[in-house]
Amino acid sequence: MIKNRLKIYLVATLAMFACEPDPLPIHLELPAQQLVVSSLLIQGQGVTIALTRSFSALNSGLTTDSTLLTSLLVQEAEVLIIENRLDTFRLQQVQDGIFVSADINPVPGNVYGLIATDLQTGTRVEAESIVTEQVQFSDTKGTLIPAGDDSLVNVSYSFNPHPDEDFYMVNVQKLSVDLDQTNLGIDLDLVVPRTFTHLVTKTDSGDQEISDEFIFIVNEDFFTGDTLIVSLASIGPTYYEYLEKRNNTRFGPSFVSEPYNAPSNVENGLGFFNLHTSDNQIIIVE
Amino acid sequence: MAILLSVTRVVVAQEIRTITGRVQDAEDGSPLPFCTVKVEGTNAVARTNDDGKFTLRTPSKKVALTFFYIGYISQTLDFDLKADTVIAITLLPSVTTLDNVVVSDERFYGENQIEDIRSSTTRVEAKDVLMVPGLAGEPDLIRTMQLLPGVTKGVEGSVDFFVRGGDADQNLVLLDDAIIYNSGHLFGFMSVFNPDMLGDVQMIKGGFPAYYGGRLSSVIDIKTDGTMPEKTTFNGSVGVISSNLTIAQPLIKDKLAVKIAGRRTYIDQLLKLTGDPDLQLPYYFYDFNGRIDFKPSPRHSFYFSNYFGADILDIESDDPDDNGSSEFDIDNTNLSLGWKYLTPTNNIFSLTLTNSRFSYLVDNAFEESTLAVSNSITDYGLKARYDIFNLDVEKLSVGLDVIRHAMDPLEVDASGIVEDIFPSARSSAVTSFEGGLYADVEKKLTERLSASVGYRQSFATVDGKLYLGFEPRLLARYKLNELSSLKFNFTIISQYQHRVSSASLSLPVDLWYSVTRDIKPQRATQFGFGYVKSLGQSGLLFESEVYYKYANNIIEYQEGTNLFLNTDFEQSIIQGTAESYGWEVLLRKKGERLNGWASYTLSWANRQVDGLNGDATFPARYDRRHNVSIVANYKIFKRWEISAVWEYLSGSRFTPVVAQYAIANPLNTGVTVENIYPDRNSVALSNTHRLDLSLVKKSKPGKKLYGEWRLGVYNVYNRAAPVGIQIEQNPETGLFNYQQPGLFGMLPFISYRFKF
> Nearest-CA distance from A48 to chain B in Å?
11
Strands B75-80 and B45-47: unpaired
B420, B505, B739: residue with CB nearest A145: B420
The answer to whether residues B83 and B230 belong to one domain is no
CB pairs under 8 A between A and B: 244
A69, A148, A257: residue with CB nearest B367: A148
Indicate the residue among B586, B611, B636 that finishes a domain.
B611
**d(C-alpha B364, C-alpha B370), whole Å:** 6
Which chain A positions have a beta carbon within 8 Å of B240's beta carbon?
Answer: 11, 14
For B165-299, list the strands marked E by DSSP.
171-175, 178-179, 184-185, 190-191, 198-204, 218-224, 233-238, 242-252, 256-265, 283-297
- Residue with the bigger pLDDT between A28 and A180: it is A28
Which chain B positions have a beta carbon within 8 Å of A270's beta carbon?
Answer: 661, 663, 674, 676
Taking CB atoms and an 8 Å limit, are B662 and A69 in contact across chains?
Answer: yes
pLDDT for the residue B105: 38
Q: Report ipTM (2 d.p.).
A: 0.88
Quick check: is B269 in a domain? yes
> Nearest-CA distance from A163 to chain B in Å?
23
- For chain B, 756 residues long, the average pLDDT of each consecutive 10-residue run is 36 61 75 81 77 81 80 76 80 49 50 84 85 81 91 82 91 94 82 88 93 94 89 88 90 92 84 72 89 90 94 80 80 94 87 94 82 90 91 87 90 78 79 95 90 96 94 95 93 91 58 88 96 86 96 88 72 91 94 91 95 92 93 91 94 88 85 88 90 90 84 89 82 81 85 88
Residue of B nearest to A14 (CA): B748
The answer to whether residues B374 and B509 belong to one domain is yes
Taking CB atoms and an 8 Å limit, are A57 and B658 in contact across chains?
Answer: yes
Taking CB atoms and an 8 Å limit, are B420 and A27 in contact across chains?
Answer: no
pLDDT for the residue A19: 72
**d(C-alpha B23, C-alpha B69), whole Å:** 10
Q: Which tens digits make up the pLDDT trace of B123-158?
A: 888 888 888 887 777 888 988 999 999 999 887 777
Domain count, chain B: 2
pLDDT for the residue B529: 96
Taking CB atoms and an 8 Å limit, are A171 and B667 in contact across chains?
Answer: yes
Quick check: is B571 in a domain? yes
Task: Residue B85: give the domain boundaries.
Answer: 8-97
Interface test with B, best of A234, A257, A275 (most B CBs within 10 A): A257
Q: Which tens digits make up the pLDDT trace of A234-281?
A: 998 889 988 888 887 766 555 556 778 888 999 999 999 988 888 888
> Nearest-CA distance from B577 to chain A in Å?
18
Taking CB atoms and an 8 Å limit, are A195 and B667 in contact across chains?
Answer: yes
Which chain B positions have a beta carbon within 8 Å of A24's beta carbon?
Answer: 686, 688, 720, 722, 739-740, 742
Quick check: is B188 in a domain? no
Quick check: is B317 in a domain? yes
Around B465, how many Cα atoms within 13 Å sit in the side-chain half-sphere? 14
Quick check: is B152 in a domain? no
> Nearest-CA distance from B218 to chain A in Å?
26
pTM to 2 decimals? 0.81
Q: Give me the CATH number covering residue B59.
A: 2.60.40.1120
Interface test with B, best of A7, A261, A282 (most B CBs within 10 A): A261
Q: Any idea which of A119-128, A219-228, A238-247, B295-304 has the lowest mean pLDDT?
A: A219-228
Q: Which tens digits make up the pLDDT trace of B567-577?
A: 777 788 899 99
Taking CB atoms and an 8 Å limit, are A60 and B659 in contact across chains?
Answer: no
Taking CB atoms and an 8 Å limit, are B670 and A59 in contact across chains?
Answer: no
3-state secondary structure B350-391: EEEEEEEEEEEEEEEEECCEEEEEEEEEEEEEEEEEEEECCC
Indicate the residue among B547, B581, B611 that finishes a domain.
B611
Quick check: is B169 in a domain? no
pLDDT for the residue B504: 53
Quick check: is B488 in a domain? yes
Taking CB atoms and an 8 Å limit, are B736 and A59 in contact across chains?
Answer: yes
Quick check: is B719 in a domain? no
Residue of B nearest to A264 (CA): B663
Taking CB atoms and an 8 Å limit, are A24 and B562 in contact across chains?
Answer: no
pLDDT for the residue A90: 93
Taking CB atoms and an 8 Å limit, are A188 and B669 in contact across chains?
Answer: yes
Taking CB atoms and an 8 Å limit, are B562 and A154 in contact across chains?
Answer: no
Q: Give me the CATH number covering residue B577.
A: 2.40.170.20
**d(C-alpha B141, C-alpha B143), whole Å:** 6
> Nearest-CA distance from B714 to chain A in Å?
9
> Nearest-CA distance from B619 to chain A in Å?
15
A245, A256, A278: residue with CB nearest B502: A256
> Nearest-CA distance from A238 to chain B in Å?
13
Map residue B129 onto helix, strand or coil.
helix
The answer to whether residues B234 and B92 belong to one domain is no
**d(C-alpha A277, C-alpha A162), whole Å:** 13
